[in-house]
Amino acid sequence: MGFLSSRRNRVRIAPELDDQELGRLLKSLRATTRTGTIATTDLCAAQMSRLLDQEPGDWDRRTHRISVLADFLAASHLPRSWAAREPGNPDALVLHAWSEVAQARAEDRRGDMADAVDGCLRAAELAPDDPAPWVALLRVARWERWRQPQVFGVWNEVLARDRWNREAYLTMLAYLAPEESGSRLQVLDFVDALGARMPANAPCVGTELTAQILQYHAILDRGGYEALVARNHWSQGTAAHALERVMHTWGQPGFLRHAKALADLNLLAYALVAGDRRAEARTVFEAVGGVVTAWPWQKGGDPLTEFEQAQRRAFIGA
């Protein structure tokens, strides 16, 4: 019990994951944005610029940082203020557009996203090699339910710049789901096409497992007998194959190197426990180290509580 208690003290939701510099910036932004002054905008913009300038060619790391900042600042004036003060800064334009979508989703609000679209396109002109403007535009397109030919056009622009962009693949996966703008068959085709050519440790490696978790959640949502035996989802068909392909490699030190590796390990730990494969989940929980992502744990309630209970079941079989 002492082991579990020490682990429980370290369990935390950390959107930055293991990016310590991003974590320090979030803490600084949380403290400085309380004043709401013009000087605060300048200070925060300078801090964000410094961070985003650190890895100019690491699109995976930059996309992670932009996505976390956009979610963190979605309800803040900062992204809009930064873009207004520096209209020639592509990072400011992308952060503003991305945060606009994040805020619209948080409020479940449909509306005119013309400013976000315009900002993405201007950022793409200013930084033609950067996939981030196109990833942000893909998020806009998903939220606005653009027609598929338009969405695939944006998608191809992302791939031309960053072939395995995790955020783009997960956005397309959600867009193609039957609950949004596609069908189950399109999801299967999309995942199959990816698996046929994707490196085993690519940044988008969690796409297939994400698709299986979404299907598992759909089974739970149907209720009744299907929900009672939902764990069988993980022992048959494509879900079982998806687990088999990754569970012996992902938890190995250094195998996953992309910015959101800990998020993908959360997916794997969740799936293994959901499938009652507790012994195999232990190594994954060790690799996660107490860093919790809200999704998919929040499906059952408070994500920290759900994570801790799953971890306990994995280690002591409770």
Instruction: Quote the pLDDT of residue 162.
Output: 98
Q: How far is CA 101 from CA 91, 148, 240, 253, 267, in A?
A: 16, 19, 34, 35, 24
Task: Read off the pLDDT band of 263 (50, 70, 90).
Answer: very high
CA dist 123 and 33 (Å) reads 25
Burial zone of 186 (CB within 10 Å; 0-12 exposed, 13-18 middle, 19+ buried): middle
Model confidence over 171-181: pLDDT tens digits?
999 999 999 99
Residue range 219-240: mean pLDDT, rounded: 93
| 29 CB-contact burial (10 Å; exposed 0-12 / middle 13-18 / buried 19+) | buried
pLDDT band (50, 70, 90) for residue 128: very high
- Could you state, in order of their start, the residue ranges of all structural domains in the chain? 1-21+206-318
Q: Which of 217, 219, 277 is nearest to 243 (CA)?
A: 277
Beta bridge partners of 292: 13
CA–CA distance, 174 with 182 (Å, rounded to integer): 9
Q: Does this model's pTM top 0.75?
A: yes
How far, in Å, are 10, 148, 216, 224, 247 from residue 227 at the CA level? Answer: 32, 32, 9, 6, 24
Write out the DSSP string of the chain: -HHHHHHHHH-EE-TTTT-HHHHHHHHHHHHHTTS--HHHHHHHHHHHHHHHTS-TT-HHHHHHHHHHHHHHTTTSSHHHHHHHH-TT-HHHHHHHHHHHHHHHHHTT-----HHHHHHHHHHHHHSTT-SHHHHHHHHHHHHHT--HHHHHHHHHHHHHH-TT-HHHHHHHHHHTSTTTTS-HHHHHHHHHHHHTT--TT-TTTTHHHHHHHHHHHHHHHH-HHHHHTGGGGGGSHHHHHHHHHHTTTTTSTTT--STTHHHHHHHHHHHHHHTT-HHHHHHHHHHHTTEE-HHHHGGGS-HHHHHHHHHHHHHH--
- Judge residue 39's burial from the number of C-beta atoms within 10 Å of its C-beta, 0-12 exposed, 13-18 middle, 19 or more buried: exposed
- The count of other CB atoms within 10 Å of the CB of residue 62 is 24
Confidence class for position 130, pLDDT limits 50, 70, 90: very high
Tell me how far apart the alpha carbons of residues 305 and 301 are, in angstroms, rounded to a whole number: 8
Question: Does the pLDDT at position 303 exceed 60?
Answer: yes
CA–CA dist 284, 282 (Å, integer): 5
Q: Which of 29-33, 228-232, 291-295 has the highest mean pLDDT?
A: 291-295
CA angle (254, 155, 264) in 5-degree steps:
25
Any idea which residue has 């400011």 for tokens?
Answer: 92
Note whether 295 and 280 are within 8 A (CB).
no
Rounded mean pLDDT of the chain?
92
Residue 39 pLDDT grade (very low, low, confident, very high; cuts 50, 70, 90): low
Residue type, 178: P
